[in-house]
Amino acid sequence: MAQTHVLFLGNSYTGVNDLPSLVKQVALSAGDTFVVESRTPGGRQIKQHAQDPLVYSMLRSKKWDYVVIQCQSQEPSLFPGYVNANVFPYAKALCDSIRNIDSCTVPIFYMTWGRKNGDAQNCSNWPPSCTYKGMDSILYMNYQKMGKDNNAEVSPVGAVWHRLRDSTNLELYRPDGSHPSYIGSMAAAYTFYTAITRKSPRKSSYQIGLKPSEAEAIQTAVEEVLYNRLDTFNIGVGDLKTDFTYEQDECSFVFLGKSGFDSYLWDFGDGTASNAPSRSKTFQPGTYWVKLTTTRCGKTSIDSQQVSCKNLNIDAIDGESGYVQPNPSQGLFSVSRGFTIQSIYTLDGRRLNFKSVSSRSYRITDHLAPQWVVLHMRNAKNEQVYTRLAIQND
């Protein structure tokens, strides 16, 4: 069974009730295996995490799928000058360091909540934090900004708490009005499970310590706030999604895959395949589904597109045979002044090989039975011209 490795960098909000262990248990009951570790000194600020040698030792200790970043509970809600100097730069420093150590690791910010009755400690200096709603709205805004600015994901625990406060009587706080109760930590655990797996919280049956009605309320809140709108919180923002473009010249194509993937597999729909990032391909006339499957960081992504090309209709070809001499030809011919050959096709759409013999003379190098071929040319005005050439044997 595949394992998901998650490192939690936080403080007592993460350490109380052992949130990493709760996340692990919620995942396990849904059939997902999480391996978790944490660094959660009490009162730890994001700047201290960013300057902690032990944090970097832990980052290098194994291949992490996710690293959770939690600020000290008040600091993202303080006045803008403080946040701009002491929070945002260190959020960026941590995200940059995480990706420099392993480009596949996803930073995910732990959006915390407003204190039950606001931040009395900083109320006089920063009135917007005086109430729960004021403090909570600033936390929401700044955690979302950290996610957006750093192309990182956000686990919106605070937003889930807000929904629960509005719709239930669940006690999410410890008596101090700041730290999470067990119910509050379980709400956080379910939020992290959905943020990391992108699965419904209802897949988990872990309810130890909760009444059925409490578990139902938490799952409903996580579903409504997060699961039904994952992109609101940047979930999947760093995913590199497969898509490809192509250039077509009759039945000849050049398929171009996006760079940055670990592997590529083309299925051209005609029984042929390739594992090159880009590939030239000539089809027989018809319609085909071309599929590109890529992998990056152990994740698979697929893009399919339909392409088609038709038989060339000799009666629909524009141009005059006088552009080409001799006609019929044994494969060596010249074109009128100002004309250049772009490509040559058989009537069933097969592209032929040719070479330039002189400035206006060309030779078809494929061996051909007597038949008509079509010359795709450009004139002196760079206009496309198609004309017919009869091939005859010696």
DSSP string, 328-373: SBSSEEEE-TT-EEEEEEETTSPBPPEEE-SSSEEEE-S---SEEE
Q: What is the pLDDT of residues 31-53, one digit of tens each?
A: 999 999 999 999 999 999 999 99
pLDDT at res. 318: 58
Rounded to whole angstroms, how far apart are CA atoms 376 and 149?
Answer: 51
| Tokens (6 digits) for 222 | 């996580």
Task: Among 9-18, 58-67, 121-130, 368-377, name the one with the lowest average pLDDT.
Answer: 368-377
Residue 33's CB is within 10 A of a number of other CB atoms, namely 12
Mean pLDDT within 215-243: 95
Q: What is the pLDDT of residues 278-304, one digit of tens each?
A: 999 988 878 899 999 999 998 899 999
pTM for the whole structure: 0.77
- 3-state secondary structure (DSSP) of residue 189: helix
**Residues 223, 224, 226: CA angle, nearest 5 degrees:** 65
**Residue 33 β-bridge partners:** 3
- Identify which of 219, 194, 192, 281 has the alpha carbon closest to the alpha carbon of residue 244: 281
Give the CATH architecture of domain 314-391.
Sandwich (2.60)
pLDDT at res. 235: 97
Cβ 251 vs Cβ 282: under 8 Å: yes
Domain coordinates of the chain in residue numbers?
Answer: 3-233, 244-309, 314-391
Q: How many CA atoms lie within 13 A of 309 on its CB side?
A: 20
Q: Is the pLDDT of residue 97 over 90?
A: yes
Residue 29's CB is within 10 A of a number of other CB atoms, namely 15
Task: Locate the DSSP E strands across the chain.
Answer: 3-9, 33-39, 66-69, 106-110, 153-155, 244-249, 252-257, 263-267, 273-274, 278-282, 286-296, 299-309, 324-325, 332-335, 340-346, 354-356, 361-364, 371-378, 384-391
Q: Which residue has the higher pLDDT, 316 or 376?
A: 376
User: Looking at the domain 3-233, which fold is it?
Assistant: Rossmann fold (3.40.50)
- 3-state secondary structure (DSSP) of residue 324: strand
Instruction: Name the maximum alpha-carbon separation found in the chain.
Output: 101
Q: Do domains 3-233 and 314-391 have the same CATH topology?
A: no
Name 10's Cβ contacts closer than 8 Å, sequence gap at least 6: 19, 38, 39, 40, 44, 68, 69, 70, 110
Tell me the pLDDT band of 314, cut-offs 50, 70 and 90: low
Tell me the pLDDT band of 334, cut-offs 50, 70 and 90: very high
Rounded to whole angstroms, how far apart are CA atoms 174 and 362?
Answer: 86
Amino acid at 142: N
CA distances from 174 to 123, 257, 362 (A): 21, 53, 86
User: Looking at the domain 244-309, which fold is it?
Assistant: Immunoglobulin-like (2.60.40)
Q: Is the pLDDT of residue 319 over 60?
A: no
Q: Is the pLDDT of residue 118 over 70?
A: yes
Torsional sign, CA 225, 231, 236, 242: positive
Share of the chain above pLDDT 90, in %: 77
